[in-house]
Chains A and B, each alone.
Chain A
Amino acid sequence: MLPRGALLGNWRQWEASQMARFILKRLLISIPIMIGITIIIFVLLNVVPGDPVALMMKEHISVDVVARVRAQMHLDDPAFIRYFRFLFGALRGDLGESYKLQRPVAALILGAFPTTFVLALWAALFAWIVGIPAGILSAVKKYSLPDNLFMGFSLMGVSMPIFWSALLFQWCFAVKLGWLPVAGFSSWKYVIMPAVVLGWSSAGTIARLTRSSLLEVMRNDYIRTARAKGLRELPVIFKHALKNSLLPVVTVMAIQVAGLLSGAILTESVFGIPGVGRIAVNAIQARDMPLLQGTVLFETLLVVLGNLTADILYAFLDPRIKVN
Chain B
Amino acid sequence: MKSWMTRCRIHARKGWASILVSLAAVALGACSMLATAAEKVLTIAYNEEPKTSDMQMNTSDYMIPFNVYDRLIECVTTGPAKSALVPGLATKWEISKDGKVYTLHLRKGAKFHNGEEVTAQDVVYTFDRMLDPATKALNTDALDFIAGAQDRMAGKAQTTAGLKALDKYTVQITLENAFVPFLAILAAPQCSIMSEKFTRPLGNKYGLTADTTCGSGPFIMKEWTLNDHHTLVANPNYWRGRPQIDKLVIRIITDSETMRMLFESGEIDIFDCDFAISQIPYFTSSPKWGKQVLSGPRAGIYYYTFNQKIKPFDDVRVRKAFQMAVDRKLILDKLYYGQGQLENGIAPTGLIHYNPNQTKIPYDPDQAKKLLAQAGYPNGVDMEIALVSSTGSQWQKMSEVIQQMVQKSGFRVTLKQMDEAAFYATRKEGKLPMYTNVWSADYNDPDNFFYTFFGPKGTVARSYNNIDQANFDLLEKGRAETNFAKRAKLYNDLEKKIVIDQAAWLPMFSAKHLYVVQPRVKKFVIPWNGWSDLPFYEARVD
Interface residues of A (CB under 8 A from B): 48-52, 54-66, 68-69, 72-73, 100-103, 108, 110-115, 117-118, 121-122, 167, 170-171, 174-175, 178, 181-189, 191, 269-274, 278-279, 281-282, 285-287
Q: How far is the CB of A172 from chain B (nearest CB, A)?
A: 11
- Contacting chain A: which of B108-116, B355-363, B423-431, B520-528? B423-431
B261, A184: Cβ atoms under 8 Å? no
A272 touches B251 (CB 8 A): yes
Q: Indicate whether A182 sits within 8 Å of B261 (C-beta atoms), given known contacts A68-B133, A114-B19.
A: yes
B421, A114: Cβ atoms closer than 8 Å: no
Question: Is there an interface contact between A187 and B49, defined as CB atoms closer than 8 Å?
Answer: no
User: Contact partner of B252 among A57, A69, A272, CB < 8 A?
Assistant: A272
Q: How many residues of B contact A (CB 8 A)?
A: 68
User: Are the CB atoms of B267 and A182 closer together than 8 Å?
Assistant: yes
Closest residue on chain A to residue B150 by CB atoms: A64
Q: Does B420 contact A (CB under 8 A)?
A: yes
- Closest Cβ of chain B to A266, distance in Å, is 9
Binding-face segment, B52-60, B213-221, B331-339, B466-474: B52-60
Interchain CB contact under 8 A, B421 and A55: yes
Q: A49-B425, A274-B228, A279-B227 are in contact. Are A183 and B253 (CB under 8 A)?
A: yes
Q: How far is the CA of A100 from the CA of B61 in the complex (A)?
A: 13
Given A49-B425, A170-B258, the answer on whether A118 and B204 have CB atoms closer than 8 Å is no
Given A59-B439, A285-B390, CB of A167 within 8 Å of CB of B257: yes
Return the CB mask of B190-234 against A: 1 if under 8 Å, else 0.
000000000000001000100000000000000001111100000
Q: A282 CA to B52 CA in the complex, in Å?
A: 14
Q: Which residues of A contact B390 (CB under 8 A)?
A: 285
Partner of B59 from A58, A73, A103 at Cβ < 8 Å: A58
Q: Which residues of A contact B227 (CB under 8 A)?
A: 112, 274, 278-279, 282
CA A274 to CA B251, docked complex, whole Å: 11
Q: Which listed residue (B28, B136, B228, B460) contacts A73, Cβ 8 A?
A: B136
Given contacts A64-B457, A112-B227, contact A100 B51 (CB under 8 A): yes
Query: How long is the Cα–Cα vector from A227 to B332 in the complex, in angstroms?
Result: 76
Chain B, 1-23, contact with A by CB distance < 8 Å: what is the 0/1 string? Answer: 00111001101110000110011
Residue in A50, A121, A181 whose beta carbon sits within 8 Å of that of B425 in the complex = A50
- Check if B254 sits within 8 Å of A272, measured CB to CB: yes
Residues of A with C-beta under 8 A to B265: 174-175, 178, 181-182
Assess whether B286 is interfacial by the CB under 8 Å rule. no
Complex alpha-carbon distance, A194 and B304, angstroms: 41
Kindly provide the distance from the CB of B365 to the nearest chain A CB, expressed in whole angstroms.
Answer: 31
Decide: A188 and B26 in contact? CB cutoff 8 A. yes
Q: Across the interface, do B59 and A57 meet the contact criterion of CB distance under 8 Å?
A: yes
- Is B258 within 8 A of A271, CB to CB? yes
Report B315-350 residues with CB < 8 Å from chain A CB.
none
B138 at the interface (CB under 8 A from A): yes
Judge if B417 is at the interface, Cβ distance under 8 Å.
no
Closest 7 CB pairs between A and B? Answer: A50-B421, A51-B425, A274-B227, A287-B421, A274-B228, A54-B424, A60-B59
In the assembled complex, how far is the CB of residue B134 from the closest CB belonging to chain A, in whole angstroms? 8
Select A62's contact among B8, B133, B457, beta carbons within 8 Å: B457
Q: Which of A51, A62, A279 contacts B141 (CB 8 A)?
A: A62
Residues of B within 8 A of A186 (CB): 3-5, 32-33
